[in-house]
Structure 1
Amino acid sequence: MRTTRARHGVAAALALSFALAAPAPALAAGSAPPVGGDRAAEAGAALVAGRAARSPLVFRACPDVEELPAPVRCAALRVPLDYARPDGPQISLTVSRAAATGRGKAPRQGSLVHNPGGPGGSGMFFPLVAALPAWRDLAAAYDLVGYAPRGVGRSAPLSCRAPGQRPKAPTRVPADPSAAYKAERRAAARSYARGCAERSGEALPYYTTLNNVRDLHVLRAALGDRKLTFLGASYGTYLGAVYATLYPGHVRRMVFDSAVDPNPRRVWYRNNLDQALGFERRWYDFRAWVARHHATYRLGATPEAVRASWERVRGAVARVPAGGVVGTGELQSAFLRAAYYDDVWPDRAAALAAFLRGDPGPLVDQAGPDADPAAAAGAENATAVYTAVLCNDASWPADWATWDRDNTELARRAPFETWANAFLNLPCASWPVRERQRPVAVGERPGSRLPRTLIVAAERDGATPHAGALELQRRLGARAALVTERGAGAHGVVGGRNDCVDAHVARYLLSGDTGGRRLTCAPHPEPAPVSLDDRATRAPGNAPRALLPPVV
């Protein structure tokens, strides 16, 4: 299930940054895979957290590869690959921090740790938000802390493909895949899963949400905080919810931005089916916006007419890839971005309009592959981590008949992204890990009342549908509050898109006051259209899809 918070909302501060590094460590032959709720692993996590509290992180100037200027500083956190063997093979997680400025009314309140989602997203750039006006008060009270979770960036990076094995543009994604194409993608999924095992060795089973939670527990201790203050977006909300379930006594404040449905029965196969329906709603919203601006784009005065224009472009690049590099696969990736973020709508609409008028340049600029080898490596790394965590986290259907039946039926209602999403997750059907995790039943447990928490969600979010926020609130109990941005659907609400939402979040993080149990904010303004004479290819709309860590 794809989710992303990359290069958005708070500009480059929430961007994904990927760097080449040594492969993940392999374990000795015969090592056992982890088991969900393993008592030995929980005891190991407690032991390692205790050690970390006695040996806090030492922050120094960040290495050049991180591209993080002062005052951001960096550290390395050592954690065991397998918490059941706390003194066994170790991995190093990269951590970044901007110290609290103290230039505010609120007293210093410890660390605010951010996870941007994915899985596969790096939060290393998060401390840069300290320089943004919207974050001034929070930056005064909190040390802003980002980190790259295990497998991501330079944190024991995971890879499933050698550079020469990565698909070359243009690629194809049929709107209605044939049996032959499905067979081709099944073979590719099996090959990808084998590549993950071959390139990571026996370390592969240890890239899981449970281990991400244990790493977060150790990071909290190493920062010198008795309790965790946490901001998680997208998959980061599930990570935070599992943390709150397993370590309720170590929760101070938590913000869940664009919440994943934590119901164990939906993790992760069913969540991905739900996501396809959510993307279909947002695809309609994009087309309706383009239709309202028909005078600018001339793509159609109704959503159905805009769809017809889209199909003309799709058919054209299927026959002759735009610029030789944008086929239906690249086109789909670029326009999936429009189902995440409405601020790319003007550029995407202008690119379609220009193409139909004979100019493929804007479409090639926005949808073409990134020529930067480091960016391509980062994209591959993000997809590898996404796949490993989701496949390890839960059982997936192993029989193709189930996938084919469910997605064929779903595609009748949600054709835009159903099959692309299914093929992305298909390696989980043949995942080479014997024993998968069992999803945690998120929520308050007897005798462990959680403090106030705050959930933020957009009503029409496609990547994490609003029903997931309602389910998370129900599970977190009576002290969980929900802020809903009505009528909006951009994924990732916190961080400058909506002043009302940000005010609720700041009040809660600075005082602990949620302001109520069910709150609403008016939607942020829709983007203004961009004429064909102003079709600059703005950065937020041009990140290739692979840089957007998938969901959950």
Structure 2
Amino acid sequence: MRAAAARYGTAGSLVLTALVAAPAGTASGAPPSPEAHGTAVAAQRAATAGIRWGTCPEAESLPPSVRCGTVAVPLDYAHPDGKRIKLTVSRTKATKKTADKAVPRQGALVFNPGGPGASGTYFPLVGVLPEWKRIAAAYDLVGYAPRGVGRSAPLSCQDPKKFGKAPTQAPTHPDASYKKERIAQAKSYARGCAARNPGLRHYTSLNNARDLEVLRAALGEKKLTFMGASYGTYFGALYATLFPSHVRRMVFDSAVNPDPRQIWYANNLDQSAAFEHRWADFRAWVAKHDKTYHLGGTPDEVLRSYEKVRAELAHKPAGGTVGPGQLQAAFLRAGYYDDYWPRRASALSAYLKGDPKPLVEQAAPEPRAAAEEENGSAVYTAVECNDASWPTDFATWDRDNSRLARVAPFETWDNAWMNLPCAYWQAPRQQPLDVRTSPGTLPPTLILAAERDAATPYEGARELHHRLADSVLVTEEGAGTHGIAGGPNACINKHLDAYLLDGRVPVRRAACAPHKEPKPSTGVRASELPRER
């Protein structure tokens, strides 16, 4: 999951904008909601002010080729004249040329990488990659840090030093004592979020969608061209429902299931089930390359090797900081991206041969990243807890996760603990918006999904396709990478280019063969492997 300003010249245009911004389903002639009116007011102000681009703050770690600015948005859209917060925005201008021809500028392409809690300010850097050069020629590449993230009115729920505590345990079948400990931690975390963040209840997916509308206006774009990945697809879909007449083109990469009944408790259970399948894919790949890794010739044998490492780390953490919790987190990332597979398998193999250094390099917490990671966790928790109702009785969590862990132990309880603060959340909850558009309401939109994606299971892409009329679903069959736009699959990138550059889409659905599996490697230092996301 980072132009010249348009102007609204009359009071009449302000009223018109407010009506356009009203949520779908509002009765004809009914006054706009306070939030819809506030969004229109904020968008008008942003269009007038524009964005003053300059050198990016040092904290963003961006080169001089990327310019940065800020956009002011209301903390509470129902009160647009109240407190405002500033979102950090980054941009590179369209290059207007490719290797073979000049290209006309098509406007700004705004990107969000997901989360909740991830910053997209790095996005303008992708323009130098071969897969993105044609898009970078036609579009200004715009990234931003959503509310709460990074320098955009950041949230924090606890001391980062406590957040990054290591080593930790991570039992797949926790006993009553461990559950009691984690309940206490969840309650403490929820209290910390409320105490440290007076405006906590305003960090929601609906407000992220409204912020996107204000950003569109600040960029001087009459209509929005947007690409969201993972969680970015959810509030992108909210935007499409709230502001359909302001959509130019939208790409939904690795889509969240937007069914209100799924937000967010059920989606997390589905995610845990899907990660078990992806964990099996990884073990099957390692077994296929047993001559390289010597971890076992079957997926079950590979699992036994992993569990042996896990048991040893429970008694003697590697490097003093890598326990079962850190091991699980490192291998969870391999469930997102298969280009991690050689790295993870090499580390596991080396550890069992007596060399823990590769595992420590890959799994040990990075103290310098503690504040950023705590901030991301705080935003994730705030948004998901605020967005919808959650079970408030731990007995429900215990029943559902104990049942699921019998067949999907890899991520189930770790995922539950991450979300458990929502059971004790003190801010008021919202009712999720019913994402749905009618034929002709939106221009064609493009949904990209990998069939075995674990972070956002494929059913979510099908559900979004069903709910957004005139959308097109492109599937990478048999693959499980999370976030596939601009990746190694040329077929996916061909559809992405055709849509963003020419507005062309397949008829309803299309399929791409999977990208090639990673090649096995061993004895490679972490510094020589691709940088982890």
| Deviations, residues 330-385 of structure 1 (Å, cap 9, x unaligned) | 0110010111110010010011111111111111111111032xx11000000000
- 1:178 counterpart = 2:143: no
Match of 2:143? 146
Q: Which residue identity does 2:258 align to in structure 1? A: P
Match of 1:390? 384
Contact 1:347/1:537 (<8 A) preserved: no
Contact 1:350/1:535 (<8 A) preserved: no
Contact 1:347/1:538 (<8 A) preserved: no
Structure 1 residue ranges, 4+ long, deviating more than 6 angstroms after superposition: 35-38
| Deviations, residues 433-464 of structure 1 (Å, cap 9, x unaligned) | 1x21111110105x861110000000100000
Match of 1:40? 34
Q: Secondary structure at the match of 2:406?
A: helix
Q: Secondary structure at the match of 1:534?
A: coil
Task: After TM superposition, give the deviation of residue 167 of structure 1 in Å.
Answer: 4.5
Match of 2:467? 475
Q: Which residue identity does 1:195 align to in structure 2? A: G
- 1:353 counterpart = 2:326: no
Match of 1:547? none
Match of 1:22? none
| Distance of 1:180 and 1:539 partners within structure 2 | 40
Task: After TM superposition, give the deviation of residue 285 of structure 1 in Å.
Answer: 0.2
Identity across the alignment (%): 61
Task: After TM superposition, give the deviation of residue 539 of structure 1 in Å.
Answer: 6.0
Task: After TM superposition, give the deviation of residue 535 of structure 1 in Å.
Answer: 4.3
Match of 2:157? 160
Q: Which residue identity does 1:345 align to in structure 2? A: W
Q: Secondary structure at the match of 2:154?
A: coil
Match of 2:330? 334
Task: After TM superposition, give the deviation of residue 166 of structure 1 in Å.
Answer: 2.6
Match of 2:29? none
Match of 1:68? 62
- 1:536 counterpart = 2:526: yes
Contact 2:164/2:370 (<8 A) preserved: no
Q: Which residue identity does 1:307 align to in structure 2? A: L
Match of 2:19? none
| Distance of 2:104 and 2:531 partners within structure 1 | 38
Q: Secondary structure at the match of 1:527?
A: coil
Evaluate the alpha carbon distance shift between residue 160 and residue 448 of structure 1 in structure 2; reply closer, same or farther with a 3 A threshold: farther
- 1:437 counterpart = 2:434: no
Match of 1:519? 510
| Distance of 2:338 and 2:531 partners within structure 1 | 10
Question: What are the within-5 Å matches in structure 2 for residues 246-325 of structure 1?
Answer: 246-325=242-321
| Distance of 1:72 and 1:263 partners within structure 2 | 37
Evaluate the alpha carbon distance shift between residue 364 and residue 542 of structure 1 in structure 2; reply closer, same or farther with a 3 A threshold: farther
- 1:449 counterpart = 2:441: yes
Q: Secondary structure at the match of 2:172?
A: coil
- 1:134 counterpart = 2:131: yes
Match of 2:373? 379
Q: Which residue identity does 1:470 align to in structure 2? A: R
Structure with the bigger RCO (C-alpha within 8 Å, sep 6+) is 1
| Distance of 2:524 and 2:224 partners within structure 1 | 46
Q: Which residue identity does 1:59 align to in structure 2? A: W
Paired residue for 2:501, among 500, 504, 510?
510
Evaluate the alpha carbon distance shift between residue 43 and residue 459 of structure 1 in structure 2; reply closer, same or farther with a 3 A threshold: same
| Distance of 2:165 and 2:209 partners within structure 1 | 35
Task: After TM superposition, give the deviation of residue 537 of structure 1 in Å.
Answer: 4.8
Q: Which residue identity does 1:409 align to in structure 2? A: R
Q: Which residue identity does 1:199 align to in structure 2? A: R
Q: Which residue identity does 2:385 align to in structure 1? A: C
Match of 2:15? none
Task: After TM superposition, give the deviation of residue 515 of structure 1 in Å.
Answer: 2.3
| Distance of 2:341 and 2:42 partners within structure 1 | 47
Match of 1:169? 166
| Deviations, residues 62-115 of structure 1 (Å, cap 9, x unaligned) | 122222112211111011100111010111100001011111454211100000
Match of 1:120? 117
Deviates more, 1:105-114 or 1:115-124: 105-114
Deviates more, 1:355-364 or 1:162-171: 162-171
Q: Which residue identity does 1:220 align to in structure 2? A: R
Task: After TM superposition, give the deviation of residue 174 of structure 1 in Å.
Answer: 1.1
| Distance of 1:536 and 1:117 partners within structure 2 | 26
Contact 2:150/2:375 (<8 A) preserved: yes
Task: After TM superposition, give the deviation of residue 386 of structure 1 in Å.
Answer: 0.2
Match of 2:45? 51
Paired residue for 2:188, among 164, 167, 191?
191
Task: After TM superposition, give the deviation of residue 121 of structure 1 in Å.
Answer: 0.5
Q: Secondary structure at the match of 2:248?
A: strand
Q: Secondary structure at the match of 2:367?
A: coil
| Distance of 2:196 and 2:105 partners within structure 1 | 44
Deviates more, 1:361-370 or 1:51-60: 51-60
Task: After TM superposition, give the deviation of residue 163 of structure 1 in Å.
Answer: 3.4
| Distance of 2:49 and 2:532 partners within structure 1 | 42
| Deviations, residues 161-219 of structure 1 (Å, cap 9, x unaligned) | 12343342111111210011001000000000001011112x00000001111100000
| Distance of 1:215 and 1:539 partners within structure 2 | 37
Contact 2:287/2:299 (<8 A) preserved: yes
Paired residue for 1:466, among 438, 458, 480?
458
Contact 1:366/1:541 (<8 A) preserved: no
Paired residue for 1:81, among 70, 75, 78?
75
Contact 1:44/1:83 (<8 A) preserved: yes
| Deviations, residues 483-529 of structure 1 (Å, cap 9, x unaligned) | 10011001110123211101100110011111221111111111111
Match of 1:11? none
Q: What's the TM-score once normalised by structure 2's chain length?
A: 0.92
